[in-house]
A and B are shown apart, each in its own frame.
Chain A
Amino acid sequence: MQNVYLDYSATTPTDPEVLEAMTPYFTEFFGNPSSIYSLASKSRAAIEKARGQVAAALSAQPEEIFFTSSGTEADNWALKGAFEKLRSKGNHIITTKIEHHAILHTADYLEKTEGASVTALPVDAEGKIRLDDLKAAVTDKTILVSVMFANNEVGTIQPIKAIGEFCREKGILFHTDAVQAAAQVPIDVNELRIDLMSLSAHKMYGPKGTGVFFMRRGVKLENFVHGGGQEKGRRASTENIAGIVGMGFAIEKMKARMPQEKARLTALRDRLIDGVLKAVPHAKLNGARGEERLPNNTNFSFIGIEGETLLLDLDSKGISASTGSACTSGSLDPSHVLMAMGLSHEQAHGSLRMTLGRGTTDEQISYVLDVLPAIVSKRRSMSPLWEDYQKKTGEK
């Protein structure tokens, strides 16, 4: 049986070269960077090298890069740090309905317990916010705008530059969660007018447990993790040296490969999208097409089927994918992203996300296109919802 991993947006395998670069910092150069002997200076040098690699990949300055434990921590820092620092100026935060829970639940927390007022912008059918909605939402109390660079479920890329320019003009801090986007598309924090940004190593063939928070020079936020004086007193905790080394190497390597990998994945993505829409009747593509979609993202809805059954049937054929169905989310409702895009509950329950990556080949896409239509048709044949749908549409 083939083994086809199509969940690269959930996580990526650590690049063997990245792992190799990390290994000595577990065993050999394990010194605490805060110590003064020469072993420790090796750790310090490794961290600063990684900081330079991350900065270079984003066209940022090294002193604007802070290492965290995850993208989620960086998101928490952005929202809580900005709110606590600026609450005397205002309490209004603008975000979107399709953010990752790391943003949405943090915003909820600030609203429920800290007196923040949060506006979550709606999105259109493709998952994009409208600039006019953002402009209309701004008040004299608005202190932060947080809009994700690209959505993790449907891959829609937001008009980041336009948002950045608007926020800069208004003097409002602009944060973007670029955890998905940074692994797929080039990011220049200056050109895009980004003030704060969150990244994660494990989405770009680096290790889990390491993230990056970009904080533009001159921006003052409250600290989020309190303790020792690491990261210039901004983020306490003994540095995860190996993880940081992995993050630096992973982003450098990813950036170098990006032009050809982006073109390669875009072609595979479009082949998969066209193939599924052609082979599966009444399949719906969720999200945008072309340049406004991440090169590695596909997301479909198959009316009449529930997502978990799809995942298990695909798994039995060696294919790993994900869904926005409630059955796998641990909550009553299906994906908040798909619902915000106006999908019905039935469509959201029947969603399938396949995200491509370095290991994805043309042959694998052919294999998926080979097995998926039969799975969908088998499950539809036992679905009363599909029966109703056929009656409604006169479909045979």
Chain B
Amino acid sequence: MDYSDKVMDHFSNPRNVGEIENPDGLGEAGNPKCGDIMKIYLKVKDGPGGAVIEDVKFKTFGCASAIASSSMATEMIKGKTVDEAWAMTNVAVAEALDGLPPIKMHCSVLAEEAIHKAINDYREKHGLEVIPIREFDHESAPRA
């Protein structure tokens, strides 16, 4: 598998690995059958421009692109408002990694999905409306 230097960097030295105790938002995507599970932990605080993601951690079981996507995605949403974080797409994650092999694009979708689930968890806890999310179809997707 030929990965970009960025992917290899984030795979070899992943940022924001770990857990947050009593997270404000927790999201999990993927399943072990397919070989990917991504778990995102959010610490959220209120700011003047809305709720801000103060800290984010991840734990991921999966291939190099899954770990790199988790690392990059968490880096991209750290310090952003929750609304800004919601708007981050999987394509933006893949582009920030200088691209993923086509058969590995689903890894970036998993990152988007896990973040959306974590944000929805936060919204639910705060009495906000849960936003519908697109879930990645693990069973029928082409994979590597």
> Which of A15-23, A145-153, A301-309 lines the interface with chain B?
A301-309
Instruction: Write out the residue numbers on chain B whose beta carbons fall within 8 Å of the beta carbon of A334.
Output: 35
Q: How far is the CB of A88 from chain B (nearest CB, A)?
A: 41
Instruction: Write out the residue numbers on chain B whose beta carbons fall within 8 Å of the beta carbon of A346.
Output: 32
- Interface range on chain A (Cβ under 8 Å from partner): 20 to 34
Q: A308-B1, A308-B64, A385-B32 are in contact. Are A327 and B59 (CB under 8 A)?
A: no
Q: Which residues of B contact A (CB under 8 A)?
A: 1, 8, 11-12, 14, 17-18, 28, 32-39, 58-64, 66-67, 103, 139, 143-144
- Taken together as a complex, chains A and B put the C-alpha atoms of A308 and B11 apart, in Å, by 11
Kindly identify which residue among A327, A329, A345, A383 contacts B60, using a CB–CB cutoff of 8 Å.
Answer: A383
Q: How far is the CB of B69 from chain A (nearest CB, A)?
A: 13
Instruction: Write out the residue numbers on chain B whose beta carbons fall within 8 Å of the beta carbon of A345.
Output: 32-35
Report whether A308 and B103 are in contact in the complex, using a CB–CB cutoff of 8 Å. Answer: no
A36 in contact (CB, < 8 A):
no
Report whether B39 and A384 are in contact in the complex, using a CB–CB cutoff of 8 Å. Answer: yes
Supply 18 further A-B pairs (C-beta < 8 A) apart from A306-B61, A306-B63, A327-B143.
A304-B61, A306-B66, A308-B1, A309-B62, A312-B8, A316-B12, A326-B143, A327-B1, A328-B1, A332-B143, A345-B33, A346-B32, A382-B67, A383-B37, A383-B61, A384-B38, A384-B59, A387-B59
The 4 closest A-B pairs by CB, nearest first: A327-B63, A308-B63, A385-B61, A349-B35
- Taken together as a complex, chains A and B put the C-alpha atoms of A151 and B139 apart, in Å, by 28
A325 in contact (CB, < 8 A):
yes
A330 in contact (CB, < 8 A):
yes
B66: nearest residue on chain A (CB-CB)? A306
Instruction: Write out the residue numbers on chain A whose beta carbons fall within 8 Å of the beta carbon of B37.
Output: 383-385
Report whether B17 and A384 are in contact in the complex, using a CB–CB cutoff of 8 Å. Answer: no
Instruction: Write out the residue numbers on chain B whose beta carbons fall within 8 Å of the beta carbon of A385.
Output: 32, 37, 61
Report whether B62 and A306 are in contact in the complex, using a CB–CB cutoff of 8 Å. Answer: yes
